[in-house]
Structure 1
Amino acid sequence: MSHTRERSPSHPAPELLGHGLRLRHWDPDSDADAAAWLRGRSDPEFRRWNTPLKTVTDLEGARASLRAGARSVAEGASAAFRITDAASGTTLGHIGVNEIDHVVRVARIGYWVLPEARGHRVAARALTLVARWAFADLGLHRLELGHALGHHASCRIAERCGFPYEGTLRGAMFEAGRQDAFRDVHLHARLATDPEVGAR
């Protein structure tokens, strides 16, 4: 069972609680949050499958990245959550609803999990919580989830959570560590009218 908490005045999205997780807001002024963001974004597995426009290499860069994310959240273009263990409060990873189009009612979901939290269905549980909130509270009709071809773990998470594979987007994202070469992307999506599968 899950429920939402009250919204923070500085954050348009509520904290989300359920499936043993609490999805909280990232705080750019928190040393602990900045350190967790740096670890996640500099992790070799993250870099294998993602090529951000700006690489985060130190704590100051992590804070700048979090501040940029907070501006996007304040503008209503995204919603970003720090995935934490509901009991201990330990940070486990990140999940975001990005590129929110309030007219067409579509957005893209992205997530990553810290190395020590992998293998515990953290991403699947967080994805279930966030999808439910995005459909119910944001009124979105379609949520898309894309991952680099060959990222089988992300593919399994999407399928488990009711995001079926829809096709391959050719050359739709950067190659690992490069911005002059491209690779294909598996596109998954779920509609508000699709049944909720839940984190399995």
Structure 2
Amino acid sequence: MATSFSSQHLVVAFDFGTTYSSYAFSFSNDPLKVQSNQGWNSGTEQLISLKTPTCVLLNSIKEFHSFGFEAENKYTSLAEEDKHHGWLLFRRFKMILHDNENLSRSTTVEDINGVSMPAMTIFAMSISYLRKHFLEALNCQTTGVEETDIKYVLTVPAIWNDNAKQFMRESAVQAGLDTERL
């Protein structure tokens, strides 16, 4: 049963990893009670994980289709039926931000077949998906949460330079996160 939300805020942190991603959150009235997503299912749905693969699948017209296990599973099923041509699966794209002196808004990443797309678009799609997934999970637990009650944290490695951190911030804003609450 969903509980009601009062006029407090909550903080959600997205762990956007090289290989796996997830999120955790806590309410301001009990900040040490950190909750995380409990339901990423693998392809066989026999494995439940706290994280899902950091991968994005775009359909043949380059629109977002899915993220994580769902993306991997869909691409695999398409490939088994030889219907994957034109679909784009992006994996391990976060590494483009590490030690990249030429990083810019026009930087591209390649899918598993070498097709390039703007990196910021792929990052924004990923962050947007994590945000949507979080909001859906939150709505199953509580009611009355306004978007303005949520503060977002996007984890980044401490060794990243300011350019890479700014790139992630701009990707988050492109994904729909309010810069004042990021």
Please, what TM-score do these two structures have when normalized by structure 2? 0.32
Q: Which has the higher contact order (CA 8 A, sep 6+)?
A: 2
- Report the structure number with the largest CA radius of gyration: 2
| TM-score (norm: length of structure 1) | 0.30
- Which protein is richer in strand relative to its size? 1
